[in-house]
C-alpha cells in the first residue's frame, strides 16, 4: 500500500532545525579528506605525470587536491615525484619539516620509493629513509590514474585517523 507518509532518508532542515549531530572525527576527517592540498616535490620525470594529473583529462580536482601549493606552509601532502639524490635529500626533509601538521607523504614512482634503477653512490635508496611515507606508487613514471588511485588510498587512510584526539597530542 502506498502511503503518503514516506520516510525521509535525507537531511531535512525543516525538522532538524539546521543542526547536524556527528562525531568530531568524522567531521574533521571529512573536511581533510576532500581538501588535500599537495606540495609537488617534483624532482625528475615523474613531475611531468604529476602535471598531467592536474589537467582536465584526469582532473585531480574531482578529489579536492588540485590546489598545488609551492609553499610548504600551505600544503598538506608532499608528493615526492622523482629521483632524490643525497645532495637534495636534506632540502626535501627541510621542506617536509616546514609543512604544518597534519601532513602526509606520497612517494611517487620507483625512484622515490626505492631508488629505482639508480643503484648508485649518489641516489637516496628510497625517500622513506628520511620521510614517513603514507602511500607508495609503483611505475616509472606512474600513469596519472595511479596518482589518483594513491590519492584515494590516502583519503581512505585519512578517514580512519583519530583526528579529534590528535588535535591535543604533542607531536
Partner 1 sequence: MTAPAAAKTALKEKFPQVTDRPSADHDAVNVPVGEVVAALRFLRDEHAFDLLMDLTAIDWAEGASPRFTVVYHLFSSLNLGYIRVATDCASNDEPTAPSVVDLWPAANWHERECYDLLGVKFTAHPDLRRILMWEGYPYHPLRKDFPLAGIEVPLPDEEISAATGTAVIAAPMMGGPFVASPGEINLTEAEPRAKDESWSDRDARPDQTALKQLKS
Told to check if 125 binds partner 1 by CB under 8 A, we report yes
Report the residue from 52, 68, 130, 148 that binds partner 1 according to the rule CB under 8 A.
Answer: 130
The interface region with partner 1, picked from 26-34, 73-81, 85-93, 137-145 by CB under 8 A, is 85-93
Report the residue from 113, 123, 155, 163 that binds partner 1 according to the rule CB under 8 A.
Answer: 123
115 CA to centre of own chain: 21
Told to check if 62 binds partner 1 by CB under 8 A, we report no
Q: Is 20 helix (H, G, I), strand (E, B) or coil?
A: coil
- Which residues does 101 contact at the CB level (< 8 Å), separation at least 6? 171
Q: Least CB distance from residue 30 to partner 1, whole Å?
A: 33
Report the residue from 24, 31, 122, 152 that binds partner 1 according to the rule CB under 8 A.
Answer: 122
Report the residue from 23, 62, 73, 94 that binds partner 1 according to the rule CB under 8 A.
Answer: 94
Cβ contact 97:89 at 8 Å: no
- Which residues does 150 contact at the CB level (< 8 Å), separation at least 6? 106, 108, 135, 136, 137
Q: State how far the alpha carbon of 154 is from the alpha carbons of 9, 30, 90, 130, 151, in Å.
A: 29, 13, 25, 19, 5
Instruction: Identify which of residues 6 and 120 has a Cβ nearer to partner 1 in the complex.
Output: 120
Told to check if 89 binds partner 1 by CB under 8 A, we report yes
Told to check if 83 binds partner 1 by CB under 8 A, we report no
10 Å CB burial of residue 78 (0-12, 13-18, 19+) is buried
Q: Which residues bind partner 1 (CB under 8 A)?
A: 86-87, 89-90, 93-94, 115, 117-123, 125, 129-130
Amino acid at each position: 500500500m502506498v502511503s503518503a507518509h514516506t520516510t525521509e532518508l535525507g537531511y531535512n532542515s525543516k525538522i532538524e532545525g539546521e543542526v547536524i549531530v556527528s562525531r568530531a572525527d568524522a567531521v574533521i576527517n571529512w573536511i581533510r579528506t576532500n581538501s588535500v592540498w599537495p606540495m609537488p616535490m617534483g624532482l625528475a620525470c615523474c613531475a611531468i605525470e604529476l602535471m598531467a594529473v592536474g589537467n582536465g583529462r584526469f582532473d585531480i580536482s574531482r578529489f579536492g587536491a588540485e590546489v598545488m601549493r609551492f609553499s610548504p606552509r600551505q600544503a598538506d601532502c608532499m608528493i615526492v615525484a622523482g629521483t632524490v639524490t643525497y645532495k637534495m635529500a636534506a632540502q626535501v626533509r627541510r621542506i617536509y619539516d616546514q609543512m604544518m601538521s597534519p601532513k602526509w607523504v606520497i612517494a611517487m614512482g620507483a625512484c622515490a620509493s626505492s631508488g629505482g634503477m639508480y643503484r648508485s653512490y649518489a641516489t637516496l635508496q628510497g625517500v622513506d629513509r628520511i620521510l614517513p611515507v603514507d602511500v607508495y606508487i609503483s611505475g616509472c613514471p606512474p600513469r596519472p590514474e595511479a596518482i589518483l588511485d594513491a590519492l584515494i588510498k590516502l583519503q581512505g587512510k585519512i578517514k580512519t585517523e583519530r583526528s579529534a584526539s590528535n588535535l591535543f597530542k604533542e607531536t
